[in-house]
Amino acid sequence: MGAYLRGIHTPHRKSTKKSPVIRIDIPETVTIPMSMHIGKPAVPTVKSGDLVKVGTKIGISDGYISSDIYSSVSGKVVKLTDYLMYNGATTTAVVIESDGEMTPDSSITPPTINSQKDLVDAVKEAGIVGLGGAGFPTYVKLNVDPERIDYLIINGAECEPYVTSDTVTMSTRTDDMILALKALNRYLGVKNVIIGIEKNNKKAAKHMKEMAASINDFSVKIQSLPDVYPQGGEKVLIYHTTGRKITANKLPIDVGCIVLNCTTIAAIGTYLRTGMPLVEKCVTVEGGAVKQPQNVIAPIGTSIKDLFDCCGGLTEQPAKIVYGGPMMGISVPNSDFSIIKNTNAVLALTKKEAKLPKTTACIRCGACVNTCPFSLAPVSIAEAYTKKNAAILTELAVLSCMECGCCSFVCPANRPLVQLNKLAKQFVNEEAKKEAQKQ
Amino acid sequence: MSSLTKVMVSPHIHSGKSTSGIMGDVLISLLPTTVAGTLIFGWRALLVVAVSVLSSVGFEALFNYIIKKEQTISDLSAAVTGLLLALNLSVDIPLWQCVIGSLFAIVVVKCLFGGIGKNLVNPAITARVFMVIAFSSVALPSFPIDSVATATPLSAETMPSLLDLFIGNRGGAIGETCTVALLIGGIYLIIRRVISWHIPVTFIGIVFIFSFFMEGFNATEAISLIMSGGLFIGAFFMATDYTTSPSTPWGKVIFGLGAGLLTCLIRYFGIYPEGVSFAILFMNILTPYINGWTRRKVFTAGGNK
């Protein structure tokens, strides 16, 4: 392998690593959207007035790339409503009033696994999606020819500032992780597991080393990663753990790798042990405006307002409320939105934390070019996009951009570089579609 | 919560680096040189600096005002241009020529091309070259106030001692003689990561090697030659201008080598005693091509589509 890929030194601000993890009081209502994953939204299977328990299926997956959805509380379905998601999409949401009991559904029993198919079905049934943030249905990744798998790479990089919920997983849910890894070894033939952890995350590394030591049937290795953002990017992680490069239009499995987030692994283990599908999530509640920042375990569908209240409330009007980390997270206009399967953090940033300098003229310093982990040229992409030149954009490999935001972070003129990259990607895809229709 | 918070596409945090911060660092890095120039050449050096900086900033403000563009003088780049220009001038220069030089640098070279980041060549260097051709007084050497040195080294029969060259006790422009002050400023910029080592090291390195051969493998002579003329101020402060130099490390190496080689060719075979300004100006023009030649290979490139 060559040198490490470039990136940026962000502030860490991971104080919640030290504070205890708490469980939120049962919320009065939860709002569960039918689209908490990449792919087609689930179809609601309940109607207003239905009684549900914890783990009752309320949405059924629609198509191959989709996922089942379960109630996260016991109580009564109040309504099905059109719901604006934090990412701007509109979907149906099921609003459930909790009875305060949290009674589990009577059908919940641990699954019996005897083959790869059983395991894939179980992961599908558990409603598990990529919990690092992408939300890609996990069972699809496991539904491959076992011969093709050289490595299972566990993403424990957690490279975004503030976020520590994956560290919580790695230090408190190792038993479930072991259960999942053993199943993946037995039924998917996974023989080499590599866990990527940033070198400054000693807490996670310690627990993962203990876990690795307890597994003897197959190889589990900890790979220390540089503490440079973005280590958690899939292609970056694969390169830094195996030295393998994913070229354009290829998937991890094409280079013999499956990448799963550590929390996704733990969720698989929890389902195998208890039969309870994915109905709750550990979320880092942080930011300068949060009184007592900490990790909170909450039912899916809990509003972020309830999460803030559970952390002592807000000390000041936040300048920004962000889903996920500050580098790639999505900001929302208020705290009425609910947390979903792949939410790993909610942040209430103060004016000072969210301060961005004024955008001025590009001085051609080359900081963006010299920072891009994939050696793209954001400044040239921005120029080509402004001229709407799809051919040059393709030549500049804009579709390879992972939207990590390093270019915008370092730009001394605060140019909207990654923002224009995103638009340029969309533009190139649309142009390609038009081309295809012509032929 | 009553009021709505701002919604914006990520990233939501920033490194805090800014153009004015970078330019501020350049101003700080030139402070030792300005002080040294004043000590060596007397108070009039400060006057030249003041006139040059003020007129540069003034012209940019005026230009923006006339064409109704947003004011940009707070990015400090006009002040940097003014200071660099003054440091490249003789202490005896008539002040009105300073003003004309600033006008040329700011308005003709920079603003007419669209302002900061859009200029094709370095404003201060180009203005100096313009002045060398337009006013003979710029090219005339000025002399240290308390020195016996009588000529700028590159046109003199005998060279000043290495120590005199190092501390700047020799003839030349206000800011180009004190090697130690320039070195301190240059290292400051490298430590602050405003510039990288590539251009200064390759630029000065190739001049040393070339001179070493030309002077019959005389290392002392070669060291004298790299400390003469405007090589240090050019290599650390003018050739590293972001807008007019390549952005990739290999591009910078090519730029430094090219500028160094041209400097030597002009010094040894040209009609002018000094070639740093011309060399940088020429490489400025090549910069877009160098950027094209040295574009990095995209990480995900290769393989079948």
Identify which of A235, A330, A408 has the shortest CB distance to residue B300: A235
| Number of domains making up chain B | 1
CATH topology of domain A116-274: Rossmann fold (3.40.50)
Nearest to A285 by CA among A298, A294, A275: A294
A332 to B5: CB separation less than 8 angstroms, yes or no: yes
pTM for the model: 0.91
CATH 3.40.50.11540 range(s) for chain A read 116-274
Cα of B245 to nearest chain A Cα, Å: 9
The whole domain housing B170 covers 19-292
Nearest to A325 by CA among A172, A89, A130, A132: A132
Residue B23 resides in a domain = yes
Q: Does A366 touch chain B (CB under 8 A)?
A: yes
Chain B residues touching residue A332 (CB < 8 angstroms): 5, 7
Identify which of A314, A354, A364 has the shortest CB distance to residue B12: A354
Chain B residues touching residue A366 (CB < 8 angstroms): 242, 246-248
The Cβ of residue B297 has, within 10 Å, a number of other Cβ atoms equal to 9
Chain A residues touching residue B11 (CB < 8 angstroms): 326-328, 405, 408-409, 418
Residue B14 resides in a domain = no
pLDDT of residue B305: 38
Q: Does A367 touch chain B (CB under 8 A)?
A: yes
DSSP A106: T
A376 to B10: CB separation less than 8 angstroms, yes or no: no
Chain A residues touching residue B122 (CB < 8 angstroms): none
pLDDT, tens only, A166-225: 999 999 999 999 999 999 999 999 999 999 999 999 999 999 999 999 999 999 999 999
Residue of A nearest to B193 (CA): A367
A409 to B15: CB separation less than 8 angstroms, yes or no: yes
Q: Does A88 touch chain B (CB under 8 A)?
A: no
Chain A residues touching residue B189 (CB < 8 angstroms): none
**CATH, residue B114:** 1.10.3430
Tokens, residue A136: 């890609």
Residue A421's region, left for phi above 0, alpha for psi from -120 to 50, else beta, is alpha
Residue B280 resides in a domain = yes
Residue B230 resides in a domain = yes
- Give the separation between CA A252 and CA A234, rounded to whole angstroms: 8
- Check: CB of residue B47 under 8 Å from CB of residue B53: no
Residue B13 resides in a domain = no
Q: Which residue stretches of chain A have pLDDT < 50?
A: none
Residue B114 resides in a domain = yes
Q: Which residue stretches of chain B have pLDDT < 50?
A: 1, 147-151, 304-305
Residue B42's region, left for phi above 0, alpha for psi from -120 to 50, else beta, is left
Cα distances from A17 to residues A159, A167, A201, in angstroms, run: 14, 7, 10
Identify which of B6, B7, B297 has the shortest CB distance to residue A375: B297
B10 to A412: CB separation less than 8 angstroms, yes or no: no
pLDDT of residue B150: 39
pLDDT, tens only, A22-51: 999 999 999 999 999 999 999 999 999 999
Residue B88 resides in a domain = yes
Residue B124 resides in a domain = yes
Q: What is the 3-state secondary structure (H, E, C) of A241-301?
A: HHCCCCCCCCCHHHHCEEEEEHHHHHHHHHHHHHCCCCCEEEEEEECCCECCCEEEEEECC
